[in-house]
Structure 1
Amino acid sequence: MTGRRRRLAAASGALTRLPVVLLLAGVVLLVGTPIVSTHVPREHESRPALPGATTGGSALDSAVAAAQRRLKRLPNDWVTWAQLGSAYVQQARITADPSYYPKADGALRRSLELESATNWQAMAGMAALANARHDFTAARDWGRRAEALNPYGGSVHGVLVDALTQLGDYDGARTQLQRMLDVEPGVSSFTRASYDFEQHGQVAEARDALNRALAEATTPADRAFCRYYLGELAFNNGDPQEALRQYAAGITADPTYQQLYAGRGKARAALGQSTDALADYARAVQARPLPELLIEYGDLLAATGQPTQARQQYDLVNAARQLSAANGVADHLSAAAFLADHDQAAEALSEAQAEWNARHSVLTADTLAWALHRNGRDAEALQYSLQATRLGWRNATLYYHQGAIRHALGDHDQARADLSLALEINPHFDPIQAPVARHLLDTLGGGR
């Protein structure tokens, strides 16, 4: 699977004001930025500020240590408890260590015990934690509680964007995205806007939004974050050379941003540089053994004739999932996608159906369609596949799946069109599945 499954699904519907806000966000801030009163006791005035979502690990570690020291002196400082809990969520993301999630839960709940009526900070933190654990319904509910108390918090709208898009409430997510852009234009809001554009097939607009985010970036970690997604956008639209340039720029900005090495490995593999690609992936998974990176590394090993080494990575995927589950993460979606592509069709369908019961995003629809196809249930699969492509997203994997399903149903003309589109979008979308797509298209007489 491509790296786009790492990113959050975006919203659908008519985002009529978004292009204007993207152009004029700086003017909006100059006209006036809302000020929020949180009724914080005086003892909180000098609390340590915790880094933002894209901050590098060393700065985050330092801020966490400062918060812990403060809480030893002021154990009833509910705002710092909330900040600490949110920072633990970030540490889990940066380190790929889900054992931080129970720590986050404890800190955030302690904050709420100390102050439940006005504590939007802890509520937003609980929403971020629930998103990280893939409990998107709980994330939505916590986010709405936080929004009721602080409708001017960009982070509040951000967690709601993430939750609602994952639940398939695209109109609601776009409303929240617009509010986030209105109150807090910056790296977090512009990168979300970029993905929204991308999912609707507006690649140029997506690139513009990412470049706007890059222009707003003030730290090495933020610049690396933006470069990474500029690389992903280029790769997913069939330009591995440009992707390589963006990943390299990101590594220059912040060499500790490990996913850039996986991105560079993906681009190098597409350009035929297999040895260097494998070395990049080895580095990335050593630092951040995320299931999606382990799968990509394993698939590249398999595609380059190293099945034993590939199996070792796949075994680590299972171990990583068990660790995540032990810390409250329920990720049926990526499990289903992995199982469907690795000859475990029945298990894939069980996982995909469990995910569909919880949420109806386009990626959930695609994964359920593919699992149904792998189980020979293609008439059902097509209905879900059509839901998966309804936003107009130029995503090669979605159209490959749809083409394979149509081929199985005997609709060869539409299968040829879908497979041709998949390979036109990105001929390198997957080291194992892209060659399958090309072979299937050849059996249909080639591209349109």
Structure 2
Amino acid sequence: MKRFIPFLGLVIIIILALINPSNEVTNVADSKIDSGDTAWLLTATALVLLMTPGLAFFYGGMVSKKNVISTMLQSFICMGLITILWAVFGFSLAFGDSIGGFIGDPRTFFMMKGMLGNATWKLAPTIPLVLFAMFQLKFAVITPALITGAFAERIRFNSYLIFICLFMIFIYAPLAHLTWHPDGQLFKLGVLDFAGGTVVHMSAGWAALAAALYLKGRKDPTHKPARISYIILGTGLLWFGWFGFNAGSALGSGALAATALATTTTASAAAATAWVFFDILTGKKPTAVGACIGAVVGLVAITPAAGFVTIAHSLIIGIVAAVVSNLMVAWRTRTSIDDTLDVFPCHGVGGMVGMLFTGIFAHTNVNSANTTGNGLYYGKTHLFLIHLLALVAVSVFAFVGSFILLKVTDLISPLRVHEQDELVGLDISQHSEAL
């Protein structure tokens, strides 16, 4: 009977699509859609989607050879499943009419209602609403995919599908609403998150730590990366796509997008270099894997700050994030925490470093329209303190909430594969495929 449950879900979606046709076209007389902004956001949306296949290669190259396909599929399936949920009610939960500043009304854009035509989002008045929804979708897609690195090589695929649905509904959507909706509580408090350091990376990082603790360690934790060339390819695709991630979050093609692109470039470059240099300083050999991880950490850390800080300060953010994450990876390896691909030390900690440094270096000269105040570096304490408060609140919410969802998922469908299936490898045991 359990085999028919996913199919039943698709049947329900087909029925909803038939009885709720979103075919009305919205024509707003004073709409100010700009062709240049629209063209850039169309491009940025495609770039952000490319990040998820990039992540698949990045993670797939890191695991053992017997788990490459399963690990890559865990990223790819998000592009299908999360997209469906987003179209039905996920976008409404994140950006629908606010309910108490914590979550959106799922009826607001149910089945993409009112999306066609020249309707716009209130904070992005120069691009079509449907484009804004598709751009934000790509963030919702990659966030649960990021978590997969923590429980790689030991999770049942069917149970994983349940968990990512629950995570999108109960963790990601509320955080997106709180942070990016004009009526969201964190938004009104003045918390700055340009492109997802809090919403994406901190939520994924804390969920990863919860998953590593809940699922415990692998039976055989020792392995060599299957394809370092995959890791390098994945890093290139992530870095390329991240320009859409950060510069696209300017929601237009003007100077702010150029600033975000520049800070993204420099922070990642600084972090990749700092990671390699720090390894040399501590007596390790410089490695391609280390350079790639450093580049991604820099991208993570600059994400919340990309449109709020100067290029000079982006270099500091990249370097500090690389050193802190490198130290956290070293600490994690000395514990019993089996975060397979170090998602928490890299994404979780990198996101927190970026969030705090946004509160330190943000300045209204960089982004006068959206910056709620200057940072600690300029003698102002308010922004830094609210970022510190938000960091604690988001961390508790994401970690505790994810742990509860893991438990709920485990009750519905066991999360952990059988020991023999794990030893054989998930490619064969879960998918009957091999590299």
TM-score (norm 2): 0.30
- Which is helix-richer, 1 or 2? 1
TM-score (norm 1): 0.29
Larger radius of gyration: 1
